[in-house]
Amino acid sequence: MSAKLETLSQNLQKHFGDKLKSLKLALGELTIEVAAADYLAVMTTLRDEPELGFAENIDLCGVDYSTYGDGVWQGKRFAVVSHLLSIANNWRLRVRVFAEDDEFPAVDSLTGVWTSVNWFEREAFDLYGIAFVGHDDLRRLLTDYGFIGHPFRKDFPISGHVEMRYDPDQGRVIYQPVTIEPRENTPRIVREDSFGDPAHG
C-alpha cells in the first residue's frame, strides 16, 4: 500500500472505528462498507473533516447482488456504491452501503451532502427500485412514467413486461403485452459440394 493510501486508511479508521464494516484495498483504491444506519453521518464526515476532505461525489450507482458469484451470494441483495474525490488531498474512495430490506430497499439520500447526487439517486431508484429517504424529487429518470418494474434488477425479464406501439385505429401510442415472434438468427447458406476445394478452383 502506498504511503498516501496508508494515510487515508489510518484517517478512516481514526474517524470511524467500528462504523467501518470493512476496509479493503484493491487495484490501488480503497473501498469501505458502512451500515445503512451510519451512512448519512459517515458521508457527511467524509466531506467535512479536513483530514478526509471528500468535497466531490463523482458517481453513485445501485447494485443488485442476487446473482453475484453464480448465485452463491449470502448477504443483502441491494447496495448503493459511491465514488468520492478529495481534490485537496488527492484521494479517491469507494463507499458501499447495503439496504437492510430486500423487499423495499432504502437508504438515506445524500442530496443534502452533495447536490450532484440528485440525478444519480433518481437513476438508481428508476433502474433498481432503491428508495432514497429524504430525496425531495424521487421520480423516474430514464424509463417512461407508466413503466412497470425496475429494468436493472436481475429478475427483470430481458424482453420486459410490456411493449409500446402506435395504434392507427386509436390514433395514439398504446402498451400491450410483449409479443416475440420466432425468427431464424443464422441465415441458411447453400454451397456447392466442391466449395473451397483448390482442385476445382
Burial zone of 127 (CB within 10 Å; 0-12 exposed, 13-18 middle, 19+ buried): buried
d(CA 90, CA 108): 27
User: Quick one: pLDDT at residue 187?
Assistant: 66
User: Quick one: pLDDT at residue 178?
Assistant: 76
User: Quick one: pLDDT at residue 184?
Assistant: 66
Residue of 147, 112, 146 whose CA lies nearest to 127: 147
| Helices within 87-171 (DSSP H only) | 118-128
The answer to whether residues 174 and 164 touch, using CB atoms and an 8 Å cutoff, is yes
Question: pLDDT per residue over 146-158, tens digit each?
Answer: 788 899 999 888 7
pTM of the model: 0.80
Question: Which residues of the chain fall below pLDDT 50?
Answer: none
